[in-house]
Chain A
């Protein structure tokens, strides 16, 4: 049997120091899907991504990538399981040049984009390749963070709030990019507050509240769940 789930989280509990933030998260991400985690600030969306990338003080539960348990592999080997990560603060290294940032990550797969494709997608980054990443605008840093991960070639990308604080032109650009990545068959786990942005992209939605999944439904059932979405997001 071929494992259908690219990523499967089961009964994930997570702690920041002494305080518990995740109380048994269950999420399945099928291969090739784009899955959106939704919820209010502090609900546990970002924490879930940090649990996968093992940046919490303590994490319990099972995390499987392509059917293999990855919660016990050393942190620096996670990327080699085909996992790419774009953190909330973009995670670009301010003291490194744009080019150094781009070339930093080890190649972990070939499902990503080539340098030429990326350059045509992100012309600004090509132009500013010698500048320190710290001097880029927020939108440019987001582009850089995405381009960097794509060059490494993971088949699963964890994206944390990619449109947060960005100008509409950049939001549009990122939406185009993600559509393109979907067509290429990449699996995406997306944390996003921007509902308009997410509606167009996601195949499946998970609603998170107080460190727990309270509901999940496919994109086709979006309209039936409007009330629930408004309640969970508090809009």
Chain B
């Protein structure tokens, strides 16, 4: 069987890889969008949080023998705690200033976290094996489906849509949206906006932590694993527009797929296809595909 001269298993395999990468793009761009919605800053440290998620899983396993499943619970909490401390101690002081300062401050966080991990662990990748229950693959007839990849895609979808439901369909979500729309009035109404802001930053970091631990068994656990990824995610965010939660999720998965397809048809361009799409989208629709503001 062939489509456009490409065998179906090869095509399906690349699409799966695309969806798999898209699962990470979606989790990370969702975290950026959630944080941006409330704090109005771009969290440059997001890639470093992702990296720390992977390293936390590695350290929990190497030093404490924690299983993947236990780490999957602990790591997001660790990241949330770290982010809450950073927000309370430093980021909060920039309230009311140009949001570019928030970008620069979190850039500083990223340098410290990455430089620190490199100092301790060196640049080489650390090994982390997937749980035994998720090893192996199933033959779907037209392709092989590695279990771990399928697991990551499902978890990502689950977390992304869970977050969407939380924000769009619950009481706590409506409080968050209210505080986003008019923070000072919301405070007068009795909503504790400073705590909401801290919680939002912590939640966004936890999402990055989930992405990080899920990346650990597949990609190299290394200090710089987040920094190049996060720039692609920035492009994803610019393409989707920061206005909507759903926009971040959809653009994440869609661009992962596009990247996967590019690998099949013109592999040289797969590294840059997201950036090229960003340039084209910006030219014709500066607000992004799902953005409301210009």
In this assembly, does A14 line the interface, its C-beta being within 8 Å of a C-beta of chain B?
no
Q: Which of A67-104 contact B (CB under 8 A)?
A: 75-80, 85, 87, 91, 93-96, 100, 103-104
In this assembly, does A108 line the interface, its C-beta being within 8 Å of a C-beta of chain B?
yes
Which residues on the A side are within 8 Å of B190 (C-beta)?
76-80, 105-106, 108, 152
Choose among A76, A104, A105 the residue that contacts B193 (Cβ–Cβ < 8 A): A76
Q: Are A76 and B187 in contact (CB under 8 A)?
A: yes
Which residues on the A side are within 8 Å of B189 (C-beta)?
79, 85, 91, 104-106, 152
Question: Most chain-A Cβ atoms within 10 A of its Cβ — which of B171, B182, B188, B191?
Answer: B188
Q: Which of A44-80 contact B (CB under 8 A)?
A: 53-55, 75-80
B185 nearest in chain A by CB position: A91
B171 nearest in chain A by CB position: A103
Which residues on the B side are within 8 Å of A106 (C-beta)?
189-191
**Shortest distance in angstroms between B192's beta carbon and chain A's nearest beta carbon?**
5
A52 nearest in chain B by CB position: B188
In this assembly, does B174 line the interface, its C-beta being within 8 Å of a C-beta of chain A?
yes
Q: Mark B177-195, 1 if CB is under 8 A from A, else 0.
A: 1100110110111111110
- The docked-state distance in angstroms from the alpha carbon of A93 to that of B187 is 13
Which residues on the A side are within 8 Å of B192 (C-beta)?
76
- The docked-state distance in angstroms from the alpha carbon of A108 to that of B190 is 9
Say yes or no: A87-B185 contact (C-beta < 8 A), given A76-B192, A108-B190, A152-B190: yes
Which residues on the B side are within 8 Å of A100 (C-beta)?
174, 177-178
Q: Are B178 and A79 in contact (CB under 8 A)?
A: no
Chain B interface residue count, Cβ-Cβ cutoff 8 angstroms: 17
- The docked-state distance in angstroms from the alpha carbon of A91 to that of B184 is 11
Q: Are B174 and A79 in contact (CB under 8 A)?
A: no
Which residues on the B side are within 8 Å of A105 (C-beta)?
189-191
In this assembly, does B175 line the interface, its C-beta being within 8 Å of a C-beta of chain A?
yes
Say yes or no: A79-B188 contact (C-beta < 8 A), given A100-B174, A103-B171, A104-B174: yes
Q: Which of A91-127 contact B (CB under 8 A)?
A: 91, 93-96, 100, 103-106, 108
Q: Are A93 and B184 in contact (CB under 8 A)?
A: no
- The docked-state distance in angstroms from the alpha carbon of A108 to that of B174 is 19
Which residues on the A side are within 8 Å of B174 (C-beta)?
96, 100, 103-104
**Shortest distance in angstroms between A57's beta carbon and chain B's nearest beta carbon?**
10
Which residues on the B side are within 8 Å of A103 (C-beta)?
171, 174
**Shortest distance in angstroms between A157's beta carbon and chain B's nearest beta carbon?**
13
Q: Are B182 and A93 in contact (CB under 8 A)?
A: yes
Which residues on the B side are within 8 Å of A79 (C-beta)?
188-190
- The docked-state distance in angstroms from the alpha carbon of A106 to that of B190 is 7
Say yes or no: A78-B175 contact (C-beta < 8 A), given A93-B181, A93-B182, A94-B181: no
A148 nearest in chain B by CB position: B189
B178 nearest in chain A by CB position: A93
Which residues on the B side are within 8 Å of A95 (C-beta)?
177, 181
Which residues on the A side are within 8 Å of B177 (C-beta)?
93, 95-96, 100
A-B contact pairs, 21 of them (CB 8 A): A55-B185, A55-B188, A75-B184, A75-B187, A75-B188, A76-B194, A77-B190, A78-B190, A79-B190, A91-B185, A93-B182, A96-B174, A96-B178, A100-B177, A103-B174, A104-B178, A105-B190, A105-B191, A106-B189, A106-B190, A108-B190
Query: Which A residues fall within an 8 A CB radius of B?
Result: 53-55, 75-80, 85, 87, 91, 93-96, 100, 103-106, 108, 152
Given contacts A54-B188, A93-B181, 16 further A-B contacts (CB under 8 A): A55-B185, A75-B184, A75-B188, A76-B188, A77-B190, A78-B188, A80-B190, A91-B182, A93-B177, A93-B178, A93-B182, A94-B181, A96-B177, A104-B174, A104-B189, A108-B190
Q: 10 tightest A-B contacts by CB?
A: A79-B190, A100-B174, A75-B187, A76-B187, A53-B188, A76-B192, A106-B190, A93-B178, A93-B181, A105-B189
